[in-house]
Structure 1
Amino acid sequence: MAPSTTDEKTETSNPTTDLTTSNGNSCSSKLPTWINEENFRNVLEESVPGYKKTLNFEVKETGGGGENYASMMMRVKAKVELQDGSTKDIAFMIKTVPEGELEAPMVKMMGLFPKETLMYGKYLREFEETYRSVGKEVTFGPKFYKLKNDPGVEYVLLEDISTRGFKNMNRQNGLDKEHIKSVLKIVAELHAVSAVRFVQKGDYEESFMLSPFRNETRENLEAMMKPLLKIQVDCLSKQETGSKYLPKLKPIFDKTTEKYIEFGELNLNDFNVIVHGDLWTNNIMFRHNDEGKREETILIDFQLSKFATPAVDLFYFLLSSASLDIKVSCFDEFIQYYHDNLVENLKLLNYPKKIPTLKQLRMDLMKYSFWSIAAVTGILAAVLLDPNENACMNNFFDENQEASDFQRQLFNNPRYIKHLDVLLPWMDKMGFLDD
């Protein structure tokens, strides 16, 4: 669901090159023909002072299997000539709707691209200006651009911040304590300013106030989840720790659709914020200095953002992306660190309502503990999977042999089982597995 710093699968300077893999698997794709120099002319003129003409224009699909799921991600590189005769290299990231039979309808049903366009084009810039007005500089995401000519498909176009030294960390190793805290800091800043904005200006657009998981989408959700859950239960039943906790997990799995609908429903009596919604390692980029010290953290991929309890981001991020040695042992420390930063920013922004206490936050984590199960039995398996050419959204939810084989790879992965051996006992002790 995010750009990756892994090597691109295919290199080409021709934007119409066929990228379909030779084995014809369901994750193959082609580069869209509308991504070309002519359509990018206004963006190049806007982003390059003194632009004269384009000398070279190149498009590459980026990220291998297991790095992107809800989008087709591409890197655009251009060499341009300036008015003074010098040249400049510039790069962008662009993502668009995948073409898979299951992927495209799901992405459109959930309204992912319009929502992300609002986040980059409106809210993140508004939030940054709010902080600037109280003397604090915060950058939440990359620069956002729009093509002058509408290509007739949904897309998001951003600066390529890898050219400024930003990169992803290894998703399978997980993040250490310093990087975890840097993410919790910027997430607390995002949550705080979005809560203040809600009090000042009222509801966000309906797409942020409504969960994608509701009665209207029940049928699609059930159809997608059923084959995946069947294989997951089978895999768990053959694992020592999985089989031990399956009696508690199975009833929850049997009501997965109802659980997503129930816990996705907005409760305005809670403390709510704009959550990132898909907060895992590949959707976070870091910039380090020459000595390897982290200097800046930035968030990307806001397709699943919504107005909800902070518990969504906290469970999703900490259980998917912290290294295993600190995931459980430092969980309470991380929650307190997040709360300290949340309070600091709410006070800075003169939040007019009662600021949630640490006790209240912990109570909300218990109330919404289903999101811990969703993270551990869902995104975590994808995070820990080795790079895989069959890793795409189609194969998460389809029922053919290729999809079934991929799903078993997810849940039988020794690295994932090692995490379950630590997480399931802890979750049971915390009461998160109680239905």
Structure 2
Amino acid sequence: MSEKASPTLIEESCDVPEWLNAKYFEEVLRKAKNDSTIKVRSINVRYALPKGENYASTIYRVLVEFHTKDQFAVCRSYIVKGMATSSMAEQKLGEYDVHAKEMDVYQLVIPEMKRLMRSIGDRSELYPKTLAIDRNNDVIIFSDLSLKGYIMADRTTGIDVTHTKMSLDLMAKLHASSLRLAEMYPTILNRFKTGMMTRETDAFYPMFYSNLDALTEEISTWDPKWNYYASKLRKLRPHFVEQGLQVFDHEKDDDLRVFVHGDLWTNNLLFKYDATGRPLDAVLLDFQFCCYGTPMIDLCYFFFTSTQDDIRQNCFEELMQYYYYRMTDYAKKLKCNKKLPTLHQFQQQLLRKLFYAVYSSFIALPIQMNEQTADADFEALMGDDERARRFKKTIMANRKYHKIIKGLLPTFDKKGLLDKLD
């Protein structure tokens, strides 16, 4: 089919690479479906997410109309995920090697973990299905799960207990299947070294410090009774990154070590609902910051960034126990040989890594709750110019965030998490 007969329609203001056209999708579909008769008639390309919903990727939704010798005018929707294209994003994210890592995950790890869960009778969706992993163009092409009814929850309000338990159950499946996978293929997970906080690169360190500084400055403008916490944060600052890095250090051989998602929050989960609005299933997306480490990375990050505030303030121990029983149950069904910790031992491991709750609440949560999207891009997140400083001031001035952090600061302080840790 000629290019003229296969138009590429691009939504206005959508910047699309030249190669992402009808001819390209014809080749992808022929290979994926093993059908050389496929002819793509047209594609329509638009951004899949609005500004402020994603910082590390460029994500397109592509509607493809094609036919084969057996079917005429079939329409399918796909998600095309590539690297963020700004020079700063390419530099910073390149040091994390996020996109090549994610391709490895979908090519080598996800298929095996899906197979393991199928072997114990789990037929849930778990992860998005890949149509193609294109290393030449640095993109991954997924089936569009929105067509099956999967949607994101509202990142600005947090998820309720039902959604939280469903998410923890999905996390338990991920972690338990990775325990068995590591037993079957002892080196398969060793390549995943660079989590969100890593000793491999300091590319994100300036952002960690600038967000902490912006929070400290914001707290110092509140009622004088909060000056105690602003002072605590100033004293914590020289130690903040190192204490975060220690969460990722593997210290004890008998500690749990699993395949960690690394960026497990509301926007990296999709939920499917019944006619009454009750969630039926959840799917986990986006493995750019995955690593091989303690499950506490995912547990703290998810719990403190994504739950409704009454859950965040009151239900931590209860929901960590829920996760523990789900994860150990799946591990036993998968016939993992590793001796699993008791609940008490698990809680001890969690306490040793609990500083990640501070990182998640101080650095990640205000970004994820932000509703002022004018400056919400990678440059504002990572930069140090006037626009970047304005963005960080804006996210810390969010009154919804103030309510949350005013509840957490005393809790963290009582646990000693705002002090230098030995």
TM over 0.5: yes
Structure 2 CA distance for aligned equivalents of residues 16 and 33 of structure 1: 14
Alignment match, 2:127: 141
- If the length of structure 1 is used for normalisation, what is the TM-score? 0.88
Of residues 88, 111, 114, the one that matches 2:100 is: 114
Deviates more, 1:352-361 or 1:159-168: 352-361
Deviations 1:44-93 (A, max 9, x none): 23566976322220111121222001111111111222424532211111
Once the two structures are TM-superposed, the CA of residue 354 in structure 1 deviates from its matched residue by 1.5
Residues 1:103 and 2:116 aligned together: no
Deviates more, 1:425-434 or 1:282-291: 425-434
Residues 1:192 and 2:187 aligned together: no
Alignment match, 1:255: 239
Deviations 1:144-203 (A, max 9, x none): 13267x5x4422221110111000011111111001000000100111110122233213
Higher-RCO chain (CA-CA 8 Å, sequence separation at least 6) = 1
Deviations 1:96-142 (A, max 9, x none): 11122321111111011111112222211101111222333343211
Secondary structure of the corresponding residue to residue 208 of structure 1: coil
Alignment match, 2:249: 265
The residue identity in structure 2 corresponding to 1:321 is: S
Distance 1:202 1:242, change over 3 A: farther
Alignment match, 1:428: 413
Alignment match, 2:147: 163
Alignment match, 1:9: none
Is contact 2:262-2:297 (8 Å) kept?
yes
Once the two structures are TM-superposed, the CA of residue 216 in structure 1 deviates from its matched residue by 4.6
Gaps of 5+ in 1: 1-11, 20-29
Identity, % of aligned positions: 26
Distance 1:181 1:71, change over 3 A: same
Secondary structure of the corresponding residue to residue 9 of structure 2: coil
Structure 2 CA distance for aligned equivalents of residues 194 and 181 of structure 1: 20
Gaps of 5+ in 2: 1-6
Residues 1:362 and 2:347 aligned together: yes
Alignment match, 2:262: 277
Distance 1:210 1:61, change over 3 A: closer
Structure 2 CA distance for aligned equivalents of residues 380 and 277 of structure 1: 14
Alignment match, 1:25: none
Structure 2 CA distance for aligned equivalents of residues 221 and 173 of structure 1: 26
Once the two structures are TM-superposed, the CA of residue 32 in structure 1 deviates from its matched residue by 1.8
Deviates more, 1:290-299 or 1:82-91: 82-91
Residues 1:306 and 2:291 aligned together: yes
Is contact 1:319-1:327 (8 Å) kept?
yes
Of residues 216, 219, 235, the one that matches 1:236 is: 219
Is contact 2:9-2:45 (8 Å) kept?
yes
Once the two structures are TM-superposed, the CA of residue 263 in structure 1 deviates from its matched residue by 2.6
Would you say how many aligned residue pairs link Structure 1 and Structure 2? 411
Alignment match, 2:363: 378
Structure 1 CA distance for aligned equivalents of residues 148 and 328 of structure 2: 31
In the TM superposition, 1:12-411 aligns within 5 A as 14-15=9-10, 19=14, 30-45=15-30, 52-84=38-70, 86-146=72-132, 152-211=136-195, 213-218=197-202, 220-240=203-223, 243-267=227-251, 269=253, 270-411=255-396
